[in-house]
Structure 1
Amino acid sequence: MEHALVIGGTGMLSGATHWLVQQNYRVSVIARNWGRMKRLIDQSEKPSAITPVLVDYCNVTDLRSEIKRIIHENGEIKLVVAWIHSIGKNALPIIAEVISKNSKNKWRLFHVLGSSIDLKKTVRDVDIPSGCRYRQIQLGFVIENDHSRWLNHKEISHGIIDCIQKDAPLHIIGTVEPWNLRP
């Protein structure tokens, strides 16, 4: 069973988390809210395949410790799906560093980003360690019947799954243009 890590996997990424479990991954999920974590586990076809990691990713000391713990318990992390808010700017570098130091093999990082993010700047700003295959997923919006709306959780999870399957360096879910039509 390969080991995956999902940051933000109890909310809009819950469908992707469940899909990873169905693909026979052992999935560690970082979250702060036990109620949402419990709901995610209760809805899983294989609850024992989900390892809850209740940590605030802004607390870098605890985050580092928890990443080391789950690697020790579940083995090398082969795949990461990371939806990290801007307040957690130090989280991704710490996660990548700890995974790389504890990996003998290449691993994939799917970095989920908002619609207004400058992708080129983000890829320059992210310190991508050797052995990491970095992928960007940008969340856009949907234009329907002359109006627009944000993506729903199901559409986001389906887009994440599609990106993991295609393993493309860049994947846009929905559209980000024309910018003036965003909701």
Structure 2
Amino acid sequence: MLSELVEALASDGGRLSLLSRRASQAFGESGFDCDYHDQQAFAAALTAAVERSGPVDLAIAWFHTLKIAAPRLLAEQVQGRLFQVLGSATADPAHPDRLERAAAVAADLADCRLRQVVLGFKVADGASRWLTNAEIWRGVLDAVVSDRPLTIIGQVEPWSARP
């Protein structure tokens, strides 16, 4: 879903390292294969990426769960901004603590400036739908450029309109 974002960031000429299950297939030497559920594999891939590309001054991370070690391991390596992409459930008014709990990955890390990006939904003509891949990557890119502490892509209210 974020491959277009990677291409947009790469066009600026910066150093990129990508970590995912099949990153090397899609991104060659910039890709580091790992499963973020495997703490040792993720840590090894992250270490290799830092050794190859240098300190992490911008990270964009979309972990589908925060109940693993990977988000904290990444935050510990960031010496700049970490954009944490979060699903719409983070905005559920029945669970107002979710955004704060998600922010805990960067707690007590002076070098890591956390930014949060919440993915919402769209309502048009009386029907709701989830965001498209293009809306997601463009929204995340806008969040990086604008550098706000919190960005909501689409809408999360009214919650009852969620698809």
Percentage of matched positions with identical amino acids: 34
Contact 1:58/1:88, CA 8 A, preserved across alignment: no
Quick one: which of 3, 8, 11 aligns to 1:22?
A: 11
Separation (CA, whole Å) in 1 of partners of 2:134 and 2:67: 24
Q: How does 1:104-115 map to 2 (within 5 A)?
A: 106-115=79-88
From 164, 167, 170, the equivalent of 2:147 is 167
Partner of 2:95 in structure 1?
Answer: none
Change (3 A) 1:136 1:27: same
Unpaired stretches in structure 2, ≥5 consecutive residues: 91-97
Alignment of 1:140-159 (within 5 A): 140-159=120-139
The normalised TM-score by structure 1 is: 0.78
Aligned to 2:161: 181
The unaligned stretches of length 5 or more in structure 1 are: 1-11, 42-46, 101-105
- Take 1:87 and 1:127, find their aligned partners in 2: how far apart are those partners? 12
Q: How does 1:21-100 map to 2 (within 5 A)?
A: 21-33=10-22, 38=25, 40-41=26-27, 51-86=30-65, 89-97=68-76, 99-100=77-78
Shift of 1:88: 5.6
Helix, strand or coil at the partner of 2:37:
coil
Number of the residue aligned with 1:9: none
Length-normalised TM-score, structure 2 = 0.88
Q: Which residue identity lines up with residue 72 of structure 2 in the other structure?
A: P
Partner amino acid for 1:167? D
Greater CA deviation, 127-136 or 142-151? 127-136
